[in-house]
A and B are shown apart, each in its own frame.
Chain A
């Protein structure tokens, strides 16, 4: 890992994520049934599927909130299935939540600073005195966040605003900022543009592409906005009823009869597929 406080922006290498045969069960309900997911380093991979397909369950299992029944989660080939959620932050796994999970009582700046928590070392006695190492660490953190995150995502006009009073689109962006402050090697975004208007969606899509290009981070996202998914993803994985029904490039997935059937409930007739492919963006 690169030194924590170098002058140049820190760009940790993108990570590879491999999920194999992941199953998750709540009582008698199989939320996930042996799904495989391979996320190439530096790619933008989308996980899609109708409501209740198990996308968020998969996210929660990958980030360590749920203990899977079977299967493994590997980060760069290292099995992290048993690693508790809080220790995955240090490994470079960052995520956002479908229903924004910011710290509402704090300012934008403090929320972003919290993203770096696991990388800081000052303890409670340093905190009381706010002197020496603690002070230095806080100053470096501030400078780094300003340069790498706040400037990058253009949040400078709201840095001292409490997040609770921000509009929805900006809150989503602050959550992305907090995840970026974690210095992620893989960034998991749970519905980053849900409920956004066209302009906000494009803004967020731009930000995600920039993050991938400039930070060199692997991105895994769950999203219902098919237009955006098809536009920015390199690879798409489709879930339905806890099973993976398709995976491939956006074009392959768009023309896959099983996918069309899952979304439209149609016959899955390949002849219809070509017609419906374009319509999918509108329907889903």
Chain B
């Protein structure tokens, strides 16, 4: 049991960080994020930016699926909406970067709201298929609404420029993506300390009780869809600035599965789970690739033979996690923290 956590005010007990240890760790995390670019490797900076974009998107899906219990297989399509919105506005009207990102979120949220409409009537697997259908429709729109989306060729995205500074490379883009990620993750954490977030969880856990205590199921389900899509839209917008081109192939249906897997592997219904899931799903394939390369001095053909094995190992890792820790990485994290709560004394 955790000790030394007595509080003298409700404000302290309801705080974002409940112990000094947590505050210190969060400070260290921020310091780490600020110092990370010192590694100077373009490859690592690219990966860092990609991981953070995925963290935003996974957190968004976690709000909808992990917290509100509405399974969505269309999440990547909302990212695509965000990416196209950025490409369209920045390319056509040269609007400011931050405005584009807000627009990306807003447009995605609007479409997410519409896609959420069937959720009042259908649940579970049926809703998952409905969202998949919506994603297919969106894919059709991207492919055929050529004047806006550029059709099959897609759109090129100009370099993100803030205050005259061109964020052309990942190490510069990092300073745009990192603060946005931190802010959006903290905002999500706050959401579940308040009335709105509690209503989401209530709908997930027992919708009949939610209704009896005065929660409008339709309103909050749609709100959850909109918020989740907003996160996806912003993530998609940042993705567009990173890759600089958006085509109908950028966000395949498989990408939606990727985010769903990230939510589940990380730990559905916890903010930290969304982060872990996104980091795990993005970095493990890279890590496996690096391991294969590291073997080259001993096995010159390692990368050729290990390339197909990589996907198998990745899949096995996911299955392993589901079997041995169904609550996800967040639960392992929680256990570790509990173990060290009274360290070096055993509990």
Q: Which residues of B are found within 8 Å of A89, using beta-carbon distances?
A: 212-214
Total contacting residues, chain A, CB less than 8 A: 41
Contacting residues of chain A (93-131) with chain B, CB-CB under 8 angstroms: 94-95, 97, 101-106, 110, 113-115, 117-118, 120, 122-124, 126-130
List 15 A-B residue pairs with CB atoms under 8 Å apart, sorted by A's residue number.
A86-B212, A86-B214, A89-B212, A89-B213, A94-B213, A102-B209, A103-B205, A118-B215, A122-B194, A127-B197, A128-B187, A129-B190, A130-B190, A138-B195, A178-B213
Interface centre among B10, B216, B223 (most CB of A within 10 A): B10
Number of interface residues of B (CB under 8 A): 34
Bound-complex Cα distance A130 to B190 (A): 6
Does B227 make an interface contact (CB < 8 A)?
yes
Question: Complex Cα distance A110/B205, Å?
Answer: 12
**Residue of A95, A101, A106, A122 touching B195 (CB-CB under 8 A):** A122
- Given A101-B212, A103-B210, A127-B191, 15 other A-B residues pairs in contact with their CB atoms under 8 A: A65-B208, A97-B209, A101-B206, A102-B205, A103-B201, A104-B206, A105-B201, A113-B198, A117-B199, A118-B215, A120-B195, A129-B190, A138-B194, A139-B11, A142-B14
Q: How far is the CA of A146 from the CA of B198 in the complex (A)?
A: 18
State whether A114 and B213 are in contact (beta carbons under 8 Å apart), knowing that A105-B201, A106-B201 are contacts in the complex. yes
Which B residues between 203 and 229 are near A, CB-CB below 8 angstroms?
204-206, 208-217, 223, 227
Does B269 lie at the interface of the complex (its beta carbon under 8 Å from any beta carbon of A)? yes
Q: A102-B206, A103-B206, A130-B190 are in contact. Are A182 and B10 (CB under 8 A)?
A: no
Find out whether the CB atom of A124 lies under 8 angstroms from the CB atom of B213.
no
A263-281 vs B, Cβ < 8 Å mask (1 yes, 0 no): 0000000000000000000
Interfacial chain B residues near A65, Cβ < 8 Å:
208
User: Does B202 belong to the interface (CB within 8 Å)?
Assistant: yes
B1-36 vs A, CB cutoff 8 Å, 1 = contact: the mask equals 000000000110110100000000000000000000
| A57 at the binding interface (Cβ < 8 Å) | no
Residues of A within 8 Å of B205, CB to CB, are 102-106
Chain B residues close to A by CB (< 8 Å) = 10-11, 13-14, 16, 187-188, 190-191, 193-199, 201-202, 204-206, 208-217, 223, 227, 269
Query: How far is A95 from B196 in the complex, measured between Cα atoms in Å?
Result: 22
Smallest Cβ distance from A128 to chain B, in angstroms? 4
> Chain B: interface secondary structure?
helix
> A202 an interface residue at 8 Å Cβ cutoff?
no
Q: What 9 pairs between A and B have smallest CB-CB spacing?
A: A118-B214, A89-B214, A103-B205, A127-B194, A130-B190, A128-B187, A101-B209, A127-B196, A142-B10
Given contacts A124-B223, A127-B195, A142-B10, A63 and B206 within 8 Å (CB-CB) = no
Q: Is A124 touching B214 in the complex (CB atoms < 8 A)?
A: no
CA distance A102 to B206 in the complex (A): 7
Residue A85 at the B interface, CB < 8 A? yes
B215 touches A86 (CB 8 A): yes
Among residues 70 to 101 in chain A, which have CB atoms less than 8 Å away from a CB atom of chain B?
Answer: 85-90, 94-95, 97, 101
Closest to A124 in B: B196
Tell me which residues across on chain A come within 8 A of B191, comparing CB atoms.
Answer: 124, 127-128
A90 with B214: in contact, given A105-B204, A117-B195, A134-B194 (CB under 8 Å)? yes
